[in-house]
Amino acid sequence: MAKKGILLVNLGTPDSPSVKDVRTYLREFLMDGRVIDIPFLYRWLLVNLIITTFRGPKSAKEYQKLWEDRGSPLKFYGEDLTKAVQKELGSDYVVVLGMRYQNPSIQVAIDELMRKGVSEIKVISLFPQYASATSGSVVEKVMDIVKGWQVIPKIEFEGPFFNHPKLIEAITQNAEKWMKEHDYDHFLFSYHGLPERQILKSGIETCKLGDCCNSCDHKNQYCYRVQCFETTRLIAKALDLPDDQVTTAFQSRLGKDPWIQPYTEDTLKRLAGEGKKNVLAFSPAFVADCLETTLEVGETYQEEFLELGGERWDLVESLNVHPSWVACVCDLARN
């Protein structure tokens, strides 16, 4: 009996924290037209003459802080997750890991599945919420790889899964460990931001980038901002958090164009101004430790909040290989 192939895909990471490898990663990542959605020539000039030139050395220093003996956490936790899912699913499946940018590439991962003679491929993008710049880019890349094949196997794409019970359970269990040890007067859910234009280009007629995100239904279910707010609601409900102690915000803003709001940096100032002293932060858009979680939310925002008068700032760790997260991925694979 032919085996089923499972392709797990995350964003990617440089091969090393050297300036050269970081620039190579940034160049591939940011030249994706779904990530920076401006005309090619302007994108090429922006990425190659400005961003990689000036941001490369700074980003390399950040990666050096993050790097461990096993390498980049996003990569080695991805490898650990792949092994755990393979063990749980058993011999009827072949589970491989691919990165949208850099190594191991999606091409290499698909080639491995085909060498092992799988009958079909299920692609699971490890992004709980759908965005064109993440899950959409993975779909486009996979289809670009197979479009020239004479025989194309059955290919399915799984997700988004922001409301999967096992995902919510894993995040909740990680948070409960902190809440048993400390008292918090606010809970901040910080998601990676997107330019507003990318939300508006999705064609969702009801989108107003405001209160329309207060509910999730068939009309707006593929709006990234809606999915983020719904993720917050589900986690807050599971933890029995009061509504007035919960805030959803968006981080990692770049450039001068408006990004989806509220911005996390502005939210920090507001919370400090309201006298909030002890904050527990969540990063539910990320499933593995990376720059945006460990350093941006865990360190940079902590420093800013404490400078503003806060007393405690803790970050709920990423899912990495949490048993309930492994169970979630296995469920997505079987379905």
d(CA 325, CA 81): 9
pLDDT confidence of residue 263: 97
As a whole number, mean pLDDT of residues 136-160 equals 96
Instruction: Provide the residue range defining the domain that includes 95.
Output: 4-161+323-334
Same domain, 153 and 139: yes
Both tokens of 10, joined, read: 């995350």
Find the CATH number of the domain harbouring 55. Answer: 3.40.50.1400
Res 208 pLDDT > 80: no
Peptide bond into 242 cis (omega under 30): no
Q: For 25-39, give one letter per residue: b (16+ CB within 10 A) or e.
A: bbbbbbbbebbbeee
Q: Is the pLDDT of residue 203 over 80?
A: no
Q: Which residues pair with 187 in a beta bridge?
A: 246, 280
13 HSE (CA, 13 A, CB side) = 26
Both 170 and 156 in one domain: the answer is no
In the chain, how many domains are there? Answer: 2
What count of other Cβ atoms lies within 10 Å of the Cβ of residue 114? 15
Return the exposure string of 160-189: e unless at least 16 CB atoms fall within 10 Å of the residue's CB, then b: bbbbbebbbbbbbbbbeeebeeeebbbbbb
Assess whether 144 and 183 both reside in one domain. Answer: no
Residue 122 pLDDT more than 90?
yes
Question: Which pLDDT band, with edges at 50, 70 and 90, does 221 fall under?
Answer: confident
**What is the predicted pLDDT for the residue at 200?**
87
Mean pLDDT of 164-175: 98
> Sorting pLDDT into bands at 50, 70 and 90, what band is 212?
confident
Same domain, 235 and 267: yes
User: What digits encode the pLDDT tens for the residues 278-333?
Assistant: 999 999 999 999 999 999 999 999 999 999 999 999 999 999 999 999 999 999 99
What pLDDT sits at residue 12?
Answer: 98
76 within 8 A of 97, measured Cβ to Cβ: no
**190 neighbors 264 (Cβ within 8 angstroms):** yes
Mark whether 15 and 145 lie in a shared domain.
Answer: yes
Q: Are residues 283 and 210 in the same domain?
A: yes
pLDDT tens digits along 73-114? 999 999 999 999 999 999 999 999 999 999 999 999 999 999
Q: Would you say residue 206 has pLDDT above 80?
A: no
User: 113, exposed or middle or buried, with CB in 10 Å at 0-12, 13-18, 19+?
Assistant: buried
Tens digits of residue pLDDT in 19-28:
999 999 999 9
268 & 170 share domain = yes
Q: Closest Cα partner for 199 from 219, 236, 162, 224?
A: 224
Residue 132: count other Cβ atoms within 10 Å of its Cβ: 20
Task: For residues 202 and 122, state if they share a domain.
Answer: no
Residues 186 and 276 in one domain: yes
Percentage of residues in the chain with pLDDT exceeding 70? 100
Does 263 lie in the same domain as 190?
yes
pTM reported for the whole predicted model? 0.96
Q: Is the pLDDT of residue 204 over 80?
A: no
Residues 215 and 81 in one domain: no
Average pLDDT over residues 227-243: 97
Q: How many CB atoms lie within 10 A of CB 243?
A: 7
What DSSP state is assigned to residue 209?
S
CA pair distance 100, 12, nearest whole angstrom: 6
Domain match, 240 and 157 both: no
Q: What is the mean pLDDT of the chain?
A: 96
